Structure 1
Amino acid sequence: MKTKAAVLRELAKPLPYAHSRPITIEELTIVPPGPMDVLVKVVGAGLCHSDLSVINGSLGRGLPVVLGHEGAGEVLEVGSAITDLKPGDHIAFQFAGNCGRCKQCQGGKPQLCETFMAARAHGGLMSGGVHFRDADGEPVKHMVGVACFSEYVVVHRGSIVVINDSLPLTEAALFGCAVMTGVGAVVNTSQVKPGESVAVFGLGGVGLCGVMGAKVSGAHTIIAVDLEDAKLKKALELGATHAFNAKDPDLVEKIKDLTNGGVDHAVELAGAIPAMEAAYAVACRGGKVVTAGLSGTGKTFSVNHGDLVLGEKHVCGSYMGSCVPMRDIPRFIELYQSGALPVDALIDGLVTFDELNEGFDRLHNGTALRQVLVPHGLDSVGASASAQVRDGIPAARSADV
């Protein structure tokens, strides 16, 4: 079987990507699914900063690789050992697959699956091997076992979650990364309670999901922090009660003054060490500092040991929002469909393969939050969805807030 896919063969090409073209669109051959694998037709795939961090070399990946880790699609074929899926099922991908049998999975932390991490290191699937071949017959790796910047993809059963088929798949795409990571960091990892205060640092797609997660958790004070005023405005539309530009030299003092000494929860979703340092600084005594951002290979964060002890602060990493995907993706979708999580307010347009490099320029420049790749073209998702991405970050539609 043939598929058109977005392949990265060289890291850290110069900006703008519209000129250097780091992503090439190639026709690949797909190796058929094994007993525990699934063949999926990809309908929508989000352009995320994690993809951008691979493209710019901040996060290393083996090459060549098919990009994409946030998406949704339709099951076309299931492996012989799979009994709980059928062709036609709608699914969302999860970027940290799980085997269900290792120590972490058995301990209730499927997002930390050891089998998945071993497969990820080699660019293959948990069932073993790589299912893409290029024109010369050479293997092409799968980004985090998903590789959904492709018309069709083979994934392990543990990398997908069946979802409600009433949800458009271009919207469902965001639930496998942005929503799980952002909402999950607040709801699951930090465990924000009604009436508490939260500061969210970094307002990309994941960070704005963190703001929405704080609102749905019942936080009384929700502080949004970013370098871009347009993103601060968006955060206020989505539930933030206060917004501060991260360039403000008095940022920490202003947040402490507002919250009588610091916030109960400081959530870093920017993937930047300065943001992590500011998050730690604004947390109150006994407060939690949660980070789900990835600042790049080799970056370190340090704290004053005495302040950590005397303040009894809690510093915690959050991978995939500490989510149990089969539990959390459906419940986050229910919250979205009830109006409590206006996730579609993040989508500023749809892009095709031809526009993918330009799309990552927009993501790098901060003029887009979540663009969604439609691998089969705009016509495949209907004329009503065929609006192209616009310059700048759009305001939320009135029906969304």
Structure 2
Amino acid sequence: MQRKGDACPPGPGDCRVERGRGRREAQGFITLVCRGDRSTMSTAGKVIKCKAAVLWETNKPFSIEEVEVAPPRAHEVRIKMVATGICRSDDHVVSGHIVSPFPVILGHEAAGIVESIGEGVTSVKPGDKVIPLFIAQCGKCRRCKHQESNICMKNDLPSKYQGKLQDGTTRFTCRGKSIHHFMGTSTFSQYTVVDEISVAKIDAASPLEKVCLIGCGFSTGYGSAVKVAKVTQGSTCAVFGLGGVGLSVIIGCKAAGAARIIAVDINKDKFAKAREVGATECVNPQDYDKPIEEVLQEMSNGGVDFSFEVIGRLDTMASALLCCDKSFGVSVIVGVPPDSQILPVDPMLLLTGRTLKGAIFGGFKSKDSVPKLVTDFMAKKFPLDPLITNVLPLEKINEGFDLLRSGKSIRTILSF
């Protein structure tokens, strides 16, 4: 039996949320009913002790620690995580390519259930299935109101990571020290606290262990094709990098009606999966004695219509731009580049008519678009299962990152 105030045992779908009755309801208490042992407890308004993967410094393994997660303050939401994906952007923090304050709880691609809410929260309630949003959407700033923008002015993005919630504080404590948040989400924890502008309610019937990918990887790739590049019917596309995001770009290109989708990667083991999700041809640059952009130009009679760089390397960004048709080609930067590096571009490459652009999270306005994407998945408009190659418990997070770095996984899902 659990003691009152203990955290729920990990595992998807192991608890439901009931509202209190009488005086307790008036005070806003929430009761979590655990299916495992039928015991009940009230955690609203209390500190929850639970497990989290803490990164104490760069180039070190994650440490599974007991952390204290404070209750949500006004306009905040505390979420019980069910599943979270391991993304390359998390690994960029581990390596130091993305600079973040330490110690920190990473993770930003996830799905869970609302445990409790702070004063003033209206968009979600306890028991709702939700996806945390690493791209916030306040709906009020000039960028949120702009039709083509999705970068809310309240985001904690790479150029200015603060590791705090909107009020400038954190909700995590470990070994007596405050632990930083990551992109307002911090999903490598059994419980996390996010601002209301950083969470979206989703279909109650959706499988959280799959739709968690809509929190980052899938949406980033899919949106880069259908929303950012606006891939056209019958077009030719080239996709550099066949990880989870690259495969999602292919899914988007196929959904948009591209006639040819050329997948580019130096790991031939990824070609079968690329073809499964829609690639028509697969190319390994190491098989040629000429630059890959020349190979692609020859394959496409002068240049592809759309290209996507989904790796985060400056040399492949240059190749992706060069392989586009010089008059009308569109090249989209999707991969996160190393910190403080500059891509030199000859202006003549753009003067002839090429377009070079980029976007975060596929250009989607998060709070508006995530619920719709989940609905589309439930309607079988696109697949997510081919992207999931491994499922591990949180305690094996370091093994999951090893799989990512070795190229042996597309997406590893951590379950709670």
2:203 counterpart of 1:164: yes
State yes or no: 1:225 paired with 2:225. no
- Bigger CA radius of gyration: 2
Q: CA deviation at 1:37?
A: 0.3
Distance in 2 separating the partners of 1:10 and 1:326: 32
Equivalent residue number for residue 308 of structure 1:
350
How far the C-alpha of 1:39 sits from its partner, in A, is 0.7
Whichever structure has more helix as a proportion of its residues is: 1
CA contact (8 A) 1:37 1:154 kept: yes
Deviation per CA, 1:127-160, whole angstroms, max 9, x where unpaired? Answer: 4311101121x21011111000000011011111
Separation (CA, whole Å) in 1 of partners of 2:261 and 2:166 = 39
TM-score, scaled to structure 1: 0.87
Q: Is the 8 A contact 1:98 1:110 kept in 2?
A: no
* 1:290 aligns to 2:329 (yes or no): no
Say what the alpha-carbon RMSD is for the aligned residues. Answer: 1.6
In structure 2, distance between residues paired with 1:118 and 1:286 = 31
Alpha-carbon displacement from aligned partner over 1:72-93 (angstroms, at most 9, x marks no partner): 0001111220122111110112
One of 127, 138, 163 as aligned partner of 1:123: 163
AA aligned opposite 2:107: G
Q: Note the residue ranges of structure 2 that are not aligned, 5 or more in a row.
A: 1-47
What is the TM-score of this pair, normalised by structure 2?
Answer: 0.84
Equivalent-residue separation in structure 2 for 1:243 and 1:283 (angstroms): 17
Conserved? CA contact 2:50–2:67, under 8 Å? yes
2:97 aligned residue: 58
Distance 1:334 1:230 in 2: 32
Match of 1:255 in 2: 296
Structure-2 separation of matches of 1:246 and 1:201: 10
* CA displacement at 1:118 relative to structure 2: 7.5
Counterpart check, 1:25 vs 2:25: no
CA distance in 2, matches of 1:330, 1:227: 35
**What are structure 1's unaligned runs of at least 5 residues?**
14-21, 376-401
Note if 1:330 corresponds to 2:377.
no
Question: Aligned runs of 1:2-401 on 2, under 5 Å?
Answer: 2-13=49-60, 22-108=61-147, 111-117=150-156, 121-136=161-176, 138-249=177-288, 250=290, 251-284=292-325, 285-310=327-352, 312-375=353-416
Distance 1:273 1:248 in 2: 21
Q: Is the 8 A contact 2:123 2:201 kept in 1?
A: no
**Most deviating of 73-82 and 323-332:** 323-332
Q: Which residue of 1 aligns with 2:30?
A: none
Is the 1:36–1:82 contact (alpha carbons within 8 Å) kept by the matching residues of 2? yes
On the 8 A contact 1:185/1:210 being kept in 2, the answer is: yes
Change (3 A) 1:91 1:370: same
Comparing 250-259 with 315-324, greater Cα deviation is found at: 250-259
Q: State percent identity of aligned pairs.
A: 35
- 1:110 Cα deviation after fit: 5.9
Supply the distance in 2 between the matched residues of 1:176 and 1:140 (Cα, whole angstroms).
Answer: 22
Structure 1 residues 217, 61: CA separation in 2 closer, same or farther (over 3 Å shift)? same
Q: Could you tell me how far apart the structure 2 residues matched to 1:82 and 1:355 are?
A: 34
Q: Give the conservation status (yes or no) of the 8 Å contact 2:137–2:366.
A: no
Check whether the contact 1:34–1:127 (CA below 8 A) recurs between aligned residues. Answer: no
* SS state at 2:264 partner: strand
